[in-house]
Amino acid sequence: MSIEQGLVSLIQSGIGSLAPGGYAATVPETSQVTAANPKAWTYRTIISTPTYVLEGEDLLTELELQIDCHGYTMDDAILLAKAIKSALRAAAPTGGSPLVLSDPDNTVVQGIFRRAPHLDGYSDANRTYVRTLEYLVTYYDQQ
Amino acid sequence: MAGSYTGTKAQSGNQTQVSIGSTPTLVGEVSDFTQSGTQNKSEDATNLESTAEEFIPTILTPGKFAGVMNRISGDAGQQAVRTAFTSVPPAIAAFTVQLPKTSAQTSTGDKYTFNALVEEFNDLGKISPTGIIKTQFSLKISGPITFTAGS
């Protein structure tokens, strides 16, 4: 759970009090999006691609992550997506130094890249408008 | 009558070790290692009396290896390959390719040793923001390739 934990903490600290989130897969019953609490975000991992060399599996791993930005209105979803994109852009490693996440493993991230998918829709389960983002995170998987 | 087939005895390249030096130092994080051009050469001896092309065998050309590895700063084996490449005059170095054990081997896997010139060493390969920096290198084998069967 460590890379996920680190990324949740990173995003949440970047967007501040704009919205609660970092929920796995779906917005929990206790945190439903309403007119009073109009935004929330969830995540799910899609693909984890390890690197292989002749000696075996390398720690360097590419993780593809889906982030669903839920809004009471589409505007809410769009504003939240904008804030998350901005937070991750600001947090991405710069200046030649990797990013060290604040999870218990202090996961070392080499890069955070937004992928092309940028999908708008409606979640019947959560009764929210959703903007879906995808990211590629390159990191050392300590397992 | 041939014996009945009991399943493949082929083996994977996973866990193969490529090393450099007479006291082998592992070249770290090689991801591809490809042999080519190992062939027996011949000379055409076809003449006017020949009823078909004729040739006489001459000598074995040991060929080349082309490798790709994740560039690892400070890896002793990678550094040794770089040193062999940059030495003046260029130096012939010893290489070992140690295969993993097959299911029929209990002690060691098959081993190939040879001497080679590091003919190419593209240290930085292709650099991109979303990709690993990979070093590409090629070895021109000098002399025979010695095969030691595993056991």
Can you give the pLDDT at residue A143?
A: 65
Please list the ranges in chain A whose pLDDT falls under 70: 1, 143
Residue A99 belongs to a domain with what CATH number?
Answer: 3.30.2000.10
Residues of A with CB under 8 A from a CB of B: 51-56, 58, 60, 111, 113, 136, 138
pLDDT digits (tens, 9 = 90+) for A80-109: 999 999 999 998 887 778 899 999 999 999
How many domains is chain A built from? 1
Out of A53, A113, A138, closest to residue B31 by CB: A53
From chain B, pick out residues whose CB is under 8 angstroms from the CB of A136: 130
ipTM: 0.73
pLDDT number for residue A83: 97
Q: Tell me the DSSP string of A4-54.
A: HHHHHHHHHHHHGGG--EEEESS--GGG---SSS-EEEEEEEEEEEEEEET
Residue B17: its chain A contacts at CB < 8 A?
54-55
The stretch B127-150 carries a mean pLDDT of 95
Q: Is the pLDDT confidence value at B130 over 90?
A: no
Per-residue pLDDT, averaged over B43-53, amounts to 97
Pairing of strands A21-24, A39-53: parallel
Contact B13 A138 (CB under 8 A): no
Question: Tens digits of per-residue pLDDT, B64-119?
Answer: 999 999 999 999 999 999 999 999 998 899 999 999 998 889 999 999 999 999 99
Q: Is the pLDDT of residue B1 over 70?
A: no
Separation in Å, CA of B69 to nearest CA in chain A: 8
Euclidean distance between CA atoms A66 and A117, whole angstroms:
9
Mean pLDDT, chain B, integer = 94
Cβ within 8 Å, pair A60-B28: no
> With contacts defined as CB-CB under 8 Å, which chain A residues touch B96?
none
- Tell me: pLDDT of B126 over 90: no
| Domain encompassing residue A84 | 2-140
> How many Cα atoms are found within 13 Å in the side-chain-facing hemisphere of A74?
4
Indicate which of A55, A61, A112, A140 best probes the interface with B, i.e. most B CBs within 10 Å of its own CB: A55
**B2 pLDDT more than 70:** no
Q: Which of A18, A29, A12, A140 is nearest to A87 (CA)?
A: A12
**With an 8 Å Cβ cutoff, are A54 and B129 in contact?**
no
B interface with A, Cβ–Cβ below 8 Å: 13-18, 26, 28-31, 33, 69-70, 129-130, 132
